[in-house]
Structure 1
Amino acid sequence: MKSVISFTDVSLRRNGQAILKGINWDINSNEHWAILGLNGSGKTSLLNIVSGYHFPTTGDVSVLGNKFGKTSLPELRKKIGFVSSSLDRFSQLVNNETIEEVVVSGKFASFGLYEHVSEEDYKKASSLIELMRLSYLKGKSFQFLSQGEKRRVLIARALMSNPEILILDEPCSGLDILSREQLLAIMKDVKQNNCHIIYVTHHIEELVKELTHVLLLHNGEIVAAGPKKEVLIDTKLSKTFEVPVKINWKNDRPWLTL
């Protein structure tokens, strides 16, 4: 089985504070992971290491066969797509652009188009828009889209560069129920686009069946990591969230109650 990500005894310290402690974590081919944990549990720091923006204080990291310390991290980043609710702050830069222009800009990792775009690039952008079930919005300005539609456009934009890993960092944050379900419904399509998903959330009900594995983080340490139904049990989730919880499964999807 091909290794996609490997962390061995990884720790991260900032200003004398331990952010991550003794992380041992492996993602293999055909696995799609969710990461759960409270604010401050280390989720963002973990993502920053995966993306090559943080270097671990101790331990070994390999991403897509690239061992940290022996590879070009800027080159590695080109193989990783990233979508987060935090990208909303860039919306004003592309408000007047069509969704096709926003999507195709993902090829150049820019907000806005400053380089030549070929007909093939636009064909690919069009196919990704269809993949995200947004064909009815072709030709529309980005500013007129709903928040959920904008997030799906940004996922299409991230896929424009053919990433091998796609990080979705709380993509449903701030969305209403309908927009959330529309976004979650495209997970199957994203999975079939030959990339490995890392999905970060606070909300366990977002873990649709396409997400196969779960990592639970608490205070910078792993509570549990592995296949979804082995990890998502009452005791481990209660430790992760610091409150007694119970999990229920419905249609292969977990739901949490206190």
Structure 2
Amino acid sequence: MVLQLENLSLRRGEKWILKDLNWQIEKGQNWILFGLNGAGKTSILNLLNAYYFPTKGKISVLGMEFGKQYLAERLRKQIGFVSSSLQQKFHQGDNAFEVVLSGAFASIGLYETPSDEMRKKAVTLLENLGCIDYANRNYETLSQGEKQRVLIARALMADPPLLILDEPTYGLDFIAREKLLESIEEIAKSPNAPTMIYVTHHVEEILPVFNKTLLLKEGQVFASGDTNELITSERLSQFFELPVSVIWNNDRPLLSKVHMVKK
């Protein structure tokens, strides 16, 4: 079991951010975590990375149960995490190659001397993700799409059993988004691929490799299960509380609002 949440609740101050969550992820599954802004997605990610601890309930990630051992540093080294929020944390002057290498140590910045094997692996990842041409450029000068590709390469440096992609296409235009999604699909299909959680509020980003979905609404599980059973016109109309239409094309869903004709 990669992830297990049992009746998990999280309170910040007087407000319950998450309430009675139950979620299980088995090795080899790839999940969509779908919810609107403010639904609690970021709070779940902070829990998974041991930045938050549950107010009630149990959480186990990669076989490590929270509260029974000090696990924060060890856990984070086994989770590949990609988020645009990381982009501002790297030091000015770090180039793309150094950012990727830092993933071997789960650090922001490169403070330890990487081995030759680590350097070779970083080069391979940069090549596989189409980043090698700007490996020596300062990270801060890269485009949004280039930065996200570098962050994915960084996340894969330690061969993580779990890869979390937190809205990785944020700020990308259509072409850059589709190229990045192609790279994610290739990762999912590669030998010894990590289990993946893809966090989004855009239905059109759901790739065929993500065959499981959790719909999160107002801090609670609205529904979870097979993607093709949840990403439907009927279910999402209930979720959004307004009539929507979902059309599947080339194994990808497209969402639109249904305009009611006034009589």
Q: Deviations 1:197-218 (Å, cap 9, x if unpaired)?
A: 1111111100111212111011
Q: Count residues in correspondence.
A: 254
Q: Distance in 2 between matches of 1:85 and 1:243?
A: 30
Counterpart of 2:144 in structure 1 is 147
Distance 1:228 1:83 in 2: 22
The question of whether the paired residues in 1 share the 8 Å contact of 2:164 and 2:198 is answered with yes
Kept after mapping to 2: 8 A contact 1:132/1:189 = no
Q: In the aligned structure 2, how far is the partner of 1:141 from the partner of 1:76?
A: 29
1:172 aligns with 2:163: no
- Measured after TM superposition, the shift of residue 120 of structure 1 is 1.1
- The residue that corresponds to 2:194 in the other structure is 195
Aligned counterpart, 1:37: 35
Equivalent residue in structure 1 for 2:102, among 90, 102, 105: 105
Is 1:246 aligned to residue 245 of structure 2? yes
Q: TM-score, normalised by structure 2?
A: 0.91
CA change 1:115–1:173 in 2 (3 A) is same
Cα RMSD (Å) of the superposition?
1.6
Q: Tell me how far apart the structure 1 counterparts of residues 45 and 107 of structure 2 sit (CA, whole Å).
A: 20
Q: CA deviation at 1:236?
A: 2.4
For structure 1, list consecutive stretches of 5 or more residues without a partner in the other structure: none
Structure 1 residue 21: deviation in Å?
Answer: 1.3
TM superposition shift of 1:189: 2.8
Map 1:78-227 to 2 at 5 A: 78-91=77-90, 93-94=91-92, 96-191=93-188, 192=190, 194-227=193-226
Deviation at 1:100, TM superposition (A): 1.6
1:209 alignment partner AA = P
| Identical aligned residues as a percent | 48
After superposition, the C-alpha distances for 1:123-168 in whole angstroms (9 at most, x for unaligned) are 0101111221223334333344221011100110111122111111
Distance in 2, Cα, partners of 1:143 & 1:46 = 28
Q: Alpha-carbon deviation of 1:111?
A: 3.0
Change (3 A) 1:66 1:245: same
Moved over 6 A (4+): none
Deviation at 1:257, TM superposition (A): 0.7
